[in-house]
Amino acid sequence: MSKNFKFIIEYDGTEFFGWQIQKDKKTIQGEIEKVLSRILNQKIRITASGRTDAGVHAFGQVANFYATTDILPEDLKKGVNSLIQNSIVIRKCCIVNDEFHARYSAISKEYHYYILNRNDPCAINRFFQWHIRYPLDIDAMSQCCQAITGIFDFKSFENTGSPRSSTIRQIFFFNISQPDESGLVFKICANGFLKYMVRNLLGTIIRVGLNKMTIEEFINIVEAKDRTKAGSTAPPHGLFLKKVTYS
């Protein structure tokens, strides 16, 4: 009898071409499916809560797949972790009801974006944060975050090729924390995200933080619903999928 398995996955996306399987390219989905198919001796197709781009990381990606097996979830988790490369780790494995779908059952997703704001770059965490050497106006950036908390049309921050029926999304919270004197963490939670939406928002908000754009100009960009008006896309390596919430 086929069972519906749910994975919570942590990964370092540095050396991968994103989540989604691609021909002749190393992806998170491809590596997990390869190991699962080997362990379970059947073709496995795994579905994630959403596709992370090349270079983007995850603390709590959620995925599900169906398999006919008597292997216990904890044993399956151990088996995958013993065979897959260290940059991907299955943090949790359990059996869920047949109706559960990692993408369509999700009610919110939370992303964190890390920035190092000091003159000197960082050797240790250079693949996990965006280094910005010039001072940033945190208060102005926070006002931008608050201005788009709620239900808005985010067409100005969508890259082409996004599979969607609407560009309207609801942001539940968007704030900035300072874990230390040179570190910044942007935390954003919404009911869904458009392609590159978080990175395009950050690339634009950082311009406000650098005093290259006013808060009013940022709001005008939101209202314009025109991607050409917004700033450049923030680099992928500072972005982490923190968690996915289900009802």
pLDDT for 85: 83
User: What are the tens digits of pLDDT across the range 110-125?
Assistant: 999 999 999 999 999 9
DSSP string, 87-144: TEEEEEEEEE-TT--TTTTEEEEEEEEEEEESSS--STTTTSSEEE-S---HHHHHHH
Phi and psi at 121, nearest 5°, equal -75, 180
User: What are the tens digits of pLDDT across the range 25-44?
Assistant: 999 999 999 999 999 999 99
Structure-block tokens of residue 79: 């088996």
Indicate if the alpha-carbon torsion angle 224, 228, 234, 240 is positive or negative: positive
Residue 161 has pLDDT above 70, yes or no: no
CA–CA gap between residue 44 and residue 215 (Å, rounded) = 48
Same fold, 2-96 and 108-246: yes
SS3 state of residue 171: strand
Which residues are marked as active site?
53
pLDDT for 183: 96
pTM: 0.94
User: What are the tens digits of pLDDT across the range 168-211?
Assistant: 999 999 999 999 999 999 999 999 999 999 999 999 999 999 99
Residue 74 has pLDDT above 80, yes or no: yes
pLDDT for 1: 84
What rounded mean pLDDT belongs to the chain?
A: 96
Phi and psi at 94, nearest 5°, equal -150, 165
Phi and psi at 165, nearest 5°, equal -100, -15
For the domain made up of 2-96, give the CATH fold.
Answer: Alpha-Beta Plaits (3.30.70)
Which CATH class for the 108-246 domain? alpha beta
pLDDT for 163: 62
pLDDT for 88: 98
Domain boundaries defined on the chain? 2-96, 108-246
pLDDT above 90: percentage of residues in the chain: 95
